[in-house]
Amino acid sequence: MTERAGMVTSTRAMTAEADIVLNTASDATRAKAWLPAGDSGDYDLDLHADEGRVAWRTGGWTGDLRVKSNGTGASEAELRAQVDADADAEEVRARLDRALGALAAEVDQNFNVS
């Protein structure tokens, strides 16, 4: 058992308001598309809209997504994952980067529905 753990973080600009990003991220029908370990099928999301945050757990991973306004029609998303001390931080960060890219695609799809 690892005694120490840490947090790995990735950020990305989004071309949507913070509340749209949060609502998309916390939508159970879209969660598997963006969660960093979402292929396990087992996940939990907890929206804290007043804090601009979605707490998540999936496939043995836990973390949160924090979204803040970054001007009119834009926001910045920060995805964080709690990891064991022996985890490869760069590998985890790469997965978080991919997850944020997938979330951006979900936001775009959700926001631009025809």
What are the pLDDT digits (tens) for 8-67?
999 999 999 999 999 999 998 898 899 987 555 688 999 999 999 999 998 778 999 999
Predicted local confidence at residue 113, as pLDDT: 57
How far apart, in whole angstroms, are the C-alpha atoms of residue 85 and residue 104? 29
Mean pLDDT of the 63-79 span: 94
Residue 2 confidence (pLDDT)? 34
Q: Would you state the pLDDT for residue 111?
A: 72
Q: What are the structure tokens assigned to 104, written together?
A: 């951006």
pTM: 0.88
- Contact in structure between 79 and 9 (CB atoms under 8 Å): yes
The whole-number pLDDT of residue 87 equals 84
Mean pLDDT calculated for residue range 96-100: 96
